[in-house]
Structure 1
């Protein structure tokens, strides 16, 4: 693979004009994890005619999803919005999602692998290309992965200018999973499956590896915790000093606001903001899990707040939707 980087092999596999945007697609082969077959697709968006790239921001999709969550074929989404505002936008696709091929041990992929190996590699490459630290934005599982990387010490102030978590939580209790027979049965059944089908479950266009489900069973089981056996991510979050924004939505029944707030409160960051998208806070609707970022309402009301956060590391002072921390 002819490399576009001095860090590890990187190939520019596509360079296209998409309306008013320039779309470059890279494929990274970091060779930093036990599975040497891992390759990661990274889409870079910029504005045609822009003399210099702006501040870099990396977007991480959630489960059963891919880059199209941020960037539709018609050039609509938070990714194009930020690119048109002058940011250097990078959209990552996790192992086996979208343009990222399935690695050899795909079924065993876990958040721990994304946080320990993939995010640091993506961050290093973007910083190399942009010449400065990137901002990070994650939705759902993407936000959980960001929290894991921060709490685990894999992303710090040298690798992240800020992090923003949308609809992300790790504390929801599933009491049956704390019963050993239920947990054992769950692991036994999951290990007989190759993948969890997003289309079959009507959750999204992508599949997810069984490794993620087994990892979640351990987190939510008896004496479980958010972390690895040798690294307590939850405890590590209290030491994080990267500026953090957490956004929840009142209509999100998958990751409800009080649980998103609990994850946010665990961060030790001095610069931090929490936002709940609900009518009581002045929004036009109680946004849902996906609608908080992908909807006409989000385009009008949420995207400008994201832009303000990236530019100022704060929400607008006049915004009544900001909840005091």
Structure 2
């Protein structure tokens, strides 16, 4: 089958109509990481009447999730809402999630792999297909992976126009894990497993490779830091100057407001905004970790704010584009 990209092998797995929406699923095999078996599924959502594609937006799911976090088979969800609003919506699924197959070294997958290898490839493919750098939105672990890619210097302005993080943090610590014997004991226990079951833990429909948990455990350690050997991602965020929007929720027990705000403060972005979803901030409820994006209240109160943010960044980006480039 002929590749859908000139950058690396990409196969179109399916092209279906979902009511008023079109759903095209691609599988990328860039072979750019040590595990050459990695293949990433990326879904493109648009209007079925083939209307002109709008602003490209990439939606990154969190842990124990897949593309269905953003849109259902019946056409519900923020991804579907954005597509109907005219945006060019792209939804990747991380290694072993959804229709992305499990790679050979699945159990050792880490955020470091997503940041260094996978997100840049996804960004390059979307840039190639759409002709524009995308606006990235990450929820929970998706936002953490996005912060890692930015702080590590792996995701550049050529493929990223702005970034929005929902319920993402890197600074909340469970203090017992900073005690070496406790950390070693937990580490030994985790190494017995290949993955953590989302269904058994009642966290979501997908499993997570144990490598993700071991990596987070290292961050939690006594001398742990958000980064990898020789690359301090947290410090690197100070060099990032992309437009930033950080959204937290009052009822979020996984990513407390204060922790999300600490991540916000690490960015060097000159254009940045933060928002807290809660009653004392004018919303009808104190949103939770998932409910901030997936709930009836989110549909009426949060999704329109996402659309306004994206449109505002697009307008500002167009205004800052040199005339000779805009006319090219």
TM class, shorter-chain normalised? over 0.9
Match of 1:276 in 2: 276
Q: Superposition pairs for residues 1-325 of structure 1, below 5 Å? A: 2-313=2-313
Where 1:189 maps in the other structure, the secondary structure is helix
* TM-score, scaled to structure 1: 0.95
Runs (4 or more) in structure 1 with deviation over 3 Å come to: none
Q: 3-state SS of the aligned residue for 1:97?
A: coil
User: What displacement does 1:169 show?
Assistant: 0.4
Describe the SS at the equivalent of 2:160: coil
Q: In 2, distance between residues paired with 1:51 and 1:256? A: 40
Unaligned runs of 5+ in 2: 315-328
Local SS of the residue matching 2:86:
coil
d(CA) in 2 for partners of 1:126, 1:278: 34
Maintained 8 Å contact 2:4/2:10 = yes
Tell me the TM-score normalized by structure 2: 0.94
Contact 1:45/1:79 (<8 A) preserved: yes
CA distance in 2, matches of 1:297, 1:244: 24
CA-CA distance at 1:313 after TM superposition: 2.7
Are the aligned partners of 1:243 and 1:272 in contact in 2 as well (CA < 8 Å)? yes
Whole-Å separation in 1 of the counterparts to 2:11 and 2:50: 23
**SS of equivalent to 1:3:** coil
Total equivalences in the alignment: 314
Q: Tell me the secondary structure at the aligned position of residue 25 of structure 1.
A: strand
Partner residue in 1 for 2:323: none
For residues 244-298 of structure 1, give each alpha carbon's deviation from its aligned partner in whole angstroms, at most 9, with x where no partner exists: 1100000001111010000011100001110000000100000000000000000
CA distance in 2, matches of 1:225, 1:297: 36
Q: Which residue of 1 aligns with 2:325?
A: none
Is this contact kept in 2: 1:156–1:242, CA < 8 A? no
Q: Secondary structure at the match of 2:156?
A: coil
Q: CA deviation at 1:2?
A: 3.1
